[in-house]
Structure 1
Amino acid sequence: MRITAAVLEQIDTQTVPHRITLEQIELDDPRDDEVLVRVISCGVCGTDRGCLHGVEPYPTPGVLGHEAAGVVEAVGRNVTRVHNGDRVMIGFPFCGRCYRCLRGEQRYCEKNRDLTFSGYRLDGSGGMRRRNGEELAGRFFQQSSWATHTVALEQQLARVPDSIELEMAGPYGCSISTGAGTVLNELRPEPGTSLAVFGAGNVGLAAVMAARLTSVEHIIVIDKVPERLALARELGATHTFHASSDTVEEIKELTRHRLDYAIEATNGANLVADAVAALGMRGTCAVVGGSSPSAKVTLKHADLLGHGKRLIGVMGGGGQTPAFLESLMALQGQGRFPLEKLVRFYDFADVNRAIDDSDAGITIKPILRMPA
């Protein structure tokens, strides 16, 4: 079928910025285990922007987008979980057959890299092409959903409850579930403990909303933007600090050197060393931020060994897909997870402005609305 997609012609270089244009392209029918989704909306995520700016590799020309929500319009003959007309959002892809998937750790699928960043299916095939026949890298996270329609794997779909607006659901597929899942699935803070979140972007604020659902005593947020710190307090932070050279000591004083958990959720600032230094004995730091894959962290040996601190990486919030996504959406429907306070909508034609506003920190979570 013919659809409209935001085609990435080239990534940023030292002399030329990235170039994205809306084009009419051809989309293949879904295969036996795939689903055709009419996209209603799709988030702009830090991972999309990382590919645009060359932080993460992605082939060009191609189509990005991996936080889609929409309506099922066709299903492959082996699909049983969803049906035509179902309201769905599209989460992380996973193979469902590897060692990690069979252990219930789908976010750590052994095929994760190929499924997310190759731009193609595992067999090397695509599914999007220009009208002149040129192949596009159109399987970003197996969805490439900066488009009016997309094809995704059945197992990465989650149903959207009637209690929330469909166009709000897409960001649960990556950034929001990353922050919330890090708290609820990986750290699982005990009653009376303390948690510090470094970075008040969409991932960090999702972690704050999740922490508010627990019995954590201190929810501390560190950022440089006063408006984001104010929003963090509205969402449940008990204390906020403007990021500075004194932040670590301020956290130690507040928690009496007993900070139990820290989340590094900055978009490139790489405050892992500060987050670890702020921890008390036996504290755990979860790294979820979007620094360059080649970025390095220098830590004091005594912090990890002598103080028993732990440093863990968290992919996409851990947990299972799509069950965890559906539980978060249900919480929003109950008014207990107010994602709407992070969101600003943009018309699909304004995709470049949405990207620029996100880069500049003007918008916390941009969501693209597709034309009817």
Structure 2
Amino acid sequence: MKIKAAVLNEPHKQFEIENIEVDSALQPNEVMVKVLATGLCHTDLSVRDQHIPARFPVILGHEGAGFVASVGSNVTKVKIGDRVVLAPLSCGQCEYCLSGHPSYCIDLWALNLPRARHDGSCPYHDDHGKDVSGFFFGQSSFATYSLTSERNIVKVSEDVPLEILGPLGCGMQTGAGTVLNVLSPVAGETIVIFGVGPVGLAALMAAKAAGCTTIVAVDIHDNRLELAKSLGATHTINSKIHIVSEYINEHVFTGGVHYSIDTTGRNEVINQAVASLRYMGKCALIAVPSVSKLEIDYGAFGNGKSIQYVNEGDSVPDILIPRLIELYKNGLFPFDKLIKFYELKDINQAVADSESGATLKAVIRMPQD
């Protein structure tokens, strides 16, 4: 079948809208989804910039939402017409998957980096018959149709706008899941979030929903800090002006906060995230790092502080995504306030606006003709 897709033909280049031929004969556990809209995530751009490896040409996109168009012979989880959100793929059989930690699946990267099918066949081809890599995070949703699997598809309710739900599949579940699943603050505890882009703001909203009473937002952009305040931040700090750890200790919470989250992947910021903690505080790292080494003063851990990298919010998507939707319906997770829509043909403008900071969360709508 013919589909339209945003194809990245080379590293460091712009996306090109192309006609792609995709196999419509599904393997037993595959699901074909007609994509309504998909989020643009920093991880997509990390492939473009070669921080994450890929075989080009490639179809990216990993925050898709849409309708089930067809199902393989063994699929029982969804049926044609169901509304779904697409999440990262995991094997479902290893120790980590079976114990409720699919984002640490033993085959996580083998399954989620752009590739062909497990049997080596490639279902995507351009107009010249050349193979195009797909299955990015199990979906490659920068396309009008996504070939995915039963394992990484989440059925969602009909009483919320489907076109806003795609970001719950990655960025939003990463930020919110880090708070709700990993840090697990109790009501009245304190947290600081470094970098209040879409992932950081998801963490902030989750912290508010969890009952944190001191929520500190840190960024270098005052407009983002103002938005963070409207979403629940009790304090905001521009890190261009203040040394954050000192400001927190002097003006926010003497002795530091219970938890910190870094969304930047920058060593100098991570050191401040750890320094902002109280004794036995915990720091979570959730950025795709742009450097190969984490460098931090060993002395920072002498008072029981800890640091942990978190994949995808350590979430079970079938559990967390419906919970986030319920929080949204009850006004406790208003992530739609971050979204700006773009059409598929304007995907490169969406990239530019995201990188400049003009847009917090770009969502790409697919043509439906």
TM-score relative to the length of structure 1: 0.95
Structure 1 residues 267 and 120, CA gap change in structure 2 (3 angstroms): farther
Q: How does 1:151-230 map to 2 (within 5 A)?
A: 151-230=147-226
- Partner of residue 260, structure 2: 262
- Alignment-mate amino acid for residue 290 of structure 1: V
Q: 1:297 aligned to 2:294? A: yes
2: distance between equivalents of 1:115 and 1:339? 28
Deviation at 1:267, TM superposition (A): 6.2
- Partner of residue 345, structure 1: 341
Asked if the contact 1:273/1:297 (under 8 Å) is kept, the reply is no
2: distance between equivalents of 1:265 and 1:124? 36
Match of 1:275 among 273, 276, 287: 273
Q: CA offsets per residue over residues 64-119 of structure 1, 9 Å max, x none?
A: 00000000010001000100000101011101111211111111111101111142
- Partner of residue 34, structure 2: 38
Q: Which moved more, 1:153-162 or 1:114-123?
A: 114-123
- Partner of residue 101, structure 1: 97
Structure 1 residues 73 and 270, CA gap change in structure 2 (3 angstroms): farther
- Alignment-mate amino acid for residue 130 of structure 1: D
- Partner of residue 25, structure 1: 20
Q: CA offsets per residue over residues 292-315 of structure 1, 9 Å max, x none?
A: 2x43232222211x2110000100
2: distance between equivalents of 1:172 and 1:269? 27
Q: How does 1:310-325 map to 2 (within 5 A)?
A: 310-325=306-321
1: distance between equivalents of 2:273 and 2:292? 16
2: distance between equivalents of 1:166 and 1:256? 44
What SS class does the counterpart of residue 92 from structure 1 fall into?
Answer: coil
Deviation at 1:266, TM superposition (A): 2.1
- Partner of residue 3, structure 2: 3
Q: How does 1:63-82 map to 2 (within 5 A)?
A: 63-82=59-78
- Alignment-mate amino acid for residue 247 of structure 1: V
Match of 1:334 among 330, 333, 343: 330
Deviation at 1:124, TM superposition (A): 3.4
TM-score relative to the length of structure 2: 0.96
Structure 1 residues 173 and 268, CA gap change in structure 2 (3 angstroms): farther
Match of 1:365 among 358, 361, 364: 361
1: distance between equivalents of 2:225 and 2:14? 33
Asked if the contact 2:58/2:114 (under 8 Å) is kept, the reply is no
What SS class does the counterpart of residue 250 from structure 1 fall into?
Answer: helix
- Partner of residue 143, structure 2: 147
Query: Any gaps of 5 or more consecutive residues in structure 1?
Result: 13-17
Query: Any gaps of 5 or more consecutive residues in structure 2?
Result: none
Deviation at 1:270, TM superposition (A): 5.9
Q: CA offsets per residue over residues 205-260 of structure 1, 9 Å max, x none?
A: 00011011112121001001111001101111110000135211001221111311
- What is the root-mean-square deviation of aligned Cα atoms in Å? 1.4
2: distance between equivalents of 1:72 and 1:269? 42
Structure 1 residues 269 and 200, CA gap change in structure 2 (3 angstroms): farther
1: distance between equivalents of 2:19 and 2:322? 33
Deviation at 1:265, TM superposition (A): 1.0
Asked if the contact 2:173/2:315 (under 8 Å) is kept, the reply is no
- Alignment-mate amino acid for residue 14 of structure 2: R
2: distance between equivalents of 1:156 and 1:326? 14
- Partner of residue 109, structure 2: 113
Deviation at 1:317, TM superposition (A): 0.5
Length, aligned pairs only = 365
1: distance between equivalents of 2:118 and 2:248? 46
Q: 1:126 aligned to 2:93? A: no
